Amino acid sequence: MKRMNKRTLVMVSILGLMVLALALPLTLGFLTSTPGALENQFSKPYVPPVIVEEFDGETKSAIQFKNNGNVSAYIRAALVIQAKTKVGEEILAYHPVSGTDFTLSPLGSDWFKKGDYYYYKYPVAPGNSTHVMFSQIKALKMPIKTVRGIDYYLNVDVAVQSIQSLPAAAVQQAWPVTVETGAVLAPTP
């Protein structure tokens, strides 16, 4: 094997240093000029429902719900019907009776009742609303009861819950419903 002479060794060393001198700034320039790491573009799903109703002091009407979330959701609601005083909000231990103390219009055709809840059959897209659940709930007499000189009036509170519509298995696990063809909710047997 032939040995390199001193001059060739110096030339190869200088050439190596020149390549290194050019490569280092180019590499650093490339690394600092490329865009930063990509950020996760996923957003957390939320489905806060809003109650939309009219109330004239005696009658609740056009009860429906709006999905103010960012994903489609199924919606269910419950009615809490009580007798309360106008001032002080004292609740009477009396359960108002439908047909005697108040009237309740028929349930909307896109709704069904299971247990204590009313379920809307279809997923509600973000920004959209359900069809009307009840067109009217009205007190038949004012006050509905008087006990020891204290008047009690019909009080109807509407409580609403929602759950994102996908995956269907999560809906079926959380609520006593099945998701049928076309994403339609149905009560479990």
- In DSSP notation, 111-137 reads EEEETTEEEESS-B-TT-BPPPSEEEE
Under the phi-then-psi rule, with left for phi > 0, alpha for psi from -120 to 50, and beta for the rest, what region is 89?
A: left
Taking the domains of the chain in order of start, what are their residue ranges?
Answer: 49-162
- Per-residue pLDDT of 82-132, as tens digits, reads 999 987 678 999 999 999 999 999 999 999 999 999 999 999 999 999 999
Residue 79's nearest CA partner among 153, 143, 186, 155 is: 155
pLDDT above 70: percentage of residues in the chain: 94
Contacts of 35 (CB under 8 A, 6+ apart): none
pTM greater than 0.85: no
pLDDT score recorded for residue 1: 47
